[in-house]
Chain A
Amino acid sequence: MLEPSPKDPAPAEDAESEPRPGRVRKPIGWSTIIIAVLVAVSAGLVWRRDGTDGVLDILTHDLSLFSGILPRVLAGCLLGAFISEILPHEKVSRSLGPKSGLMGLLIGTAFGAILPGGPFTAYPVASALLAVGADFGATIAMVVSWTLIGYGRAVAWEIPIMGTDFTLWRIVISLPLPVLAGALGRFVYIRLYPKPLAKDDES
């Protein structure tokens, strides 16, 4: 692993010398436990229904799936880390922060729509944006835009399975949704957490 070097991680950027705001890294949270229980119960049911062979069949299939996904997860994590490192924090919080208005939601939407890859990129990158100063609204717009109008899943899965007509039509219907979802998110967030935890920049 990394040697105990004296230089702390990543101070190099502008004036931002305080420790980076949390990329959340919870070791084993309750959600992991819920998933583990869900998986264990499901595996038990499969075992009762199909016996050991059934359990092993699924295991080998999913293991090969997993090994295929692994490099992409690494790419997603690196993408998230680089992006959170190279984006200047004040600029992000100005253009994607709580006060960024409609423009911030539109930028989030555009960003989600052009982001390459699958969930293994969208979520690390969204998490990086949150960490460098985007607010919930803009990040919601980005995630919703990625899932509804991003081209990745549409090209790889939806067009082959559902057909081009349906897919394009569905995307047209979905166009306003990321901005609306982001706006709703912002609207609710301000009322849920009236005093934001963030230090007020540019006073």
Chain B
Amino acid sequence: MSAALLIDILLWGSVLGVGLIAFRRGPPVFKASLREGSMDFINIVPRIALGVIGSGYIAAIIPQEVITGWLGPDSGWPGVATAVIAGAATPGGPVVGFSIGTVALKSGGGVPQVVAYVVAWALFAFQRVILWEIPFMPARFVWFRCAVSVPFPFVAAAIAMVIGKP
């Protein structure tokens, strides 16, 4: 709760801050960007609505147990590769992703594999990509960014193997 409140305060504080800067550049600048932002909002709401309201259904048909099963005590690089796929396929929000990571750690999943899972989930969980990133950003950028990100869960796992456990 308090973390969410803190985030809201920071968020609206930042909006106020940059809004103030815009306002000091003159009311036309301020008004134009206010209009621009509102139009973006109006344009994006239907797509966000579709994603947020629909994501519950997508999450409901990909049960967490399936994903957790992919993160067994499988060690080595095949385990890392499976973890990366599991991270990309994880539906739902951060609670689901991190909970699966925790369960995997507790049930004997290797640390590099769990790191690869969490990093892959953060970089290109399909649901966040289609729900948030594509509505807001040029699709060309999104696909490019995802493709470029593919090696990095493996890099993170390699670093984890080298420097050892937390």
Q: Which residues of A contact B (CB under 8 A)?
A: 2, 7, 9-10, 12-13, 22-27, 29, 31-32, 34-36, 38-39, 42-43, 45-46, 54-55, 58-59, 61-63, 65-66, 69-70, 72-86, 116-121, 123-124, 126-127, 130, 136, 139-140, 143-144, 147-148, 152-153, 155-158, 160-163, 165-166, 168-170, 173-174, 177, 180-181, 184-185, 188-189
Contact = CB atoms under 8 A, between A and B. Distances in A.
Return the 10 tightest CB-CB contacts between A and B, nearest first: A39-B54, A81-B37, A123-B136, A169-B166, A10-B32, A116-B10, A42-B57, A119-B132, A85-B33, A157-B94
12 contacts: A34-B130, A39-B55, A39-B58, A42-B54, A42-B58, A79-B11, A81-B33, A117-B10, A148-B119, A170-B156, A170-B166, A185-B145
A123 B137 contact: yes
Nearest to B158: A173
Which of A23, A35, A126 has most chain B Cβ within 10 Å?
A35
Residue of B29, B38, B134, B136 ringed by the most chain A CB atoms within 10 A: B136
Nearest to A30: B139
A65 B57 contact: no
A153 B54 contact: no
A63 B73 CA distance: 38
B75 interface: no
Given A39-B50, A86-B22, A80 B40 contact: yes
Contact of B41 (A26, A58, A59, A74): A74
B44 to A, nearest CB: 7
A35 B130 contact: yes
Contacts of A12: 25-26, 28-29, 32
Contacts, number: 261
Main secondary structure of the interface of B (DSSP, over half): helix
Contacts of A127: 136-138
Contacts of A73: 41, 44-45, 48
Given A153-B94, A158-B94, A184 B148 contact: yes
B149 A181 contact: yes
Interface on chain A toward B: helix, strand, loop, or mixed SS? Answer: helix
Contact of A156 (B3, B21, B115, B136): B3
A126 B144 CA distance: 14
A117 B7 contact: yes
Contacts of A7: 28
A78 B21 contact: no
B81 interface: no
B163 interface: yes
A39 B57 contact: yes
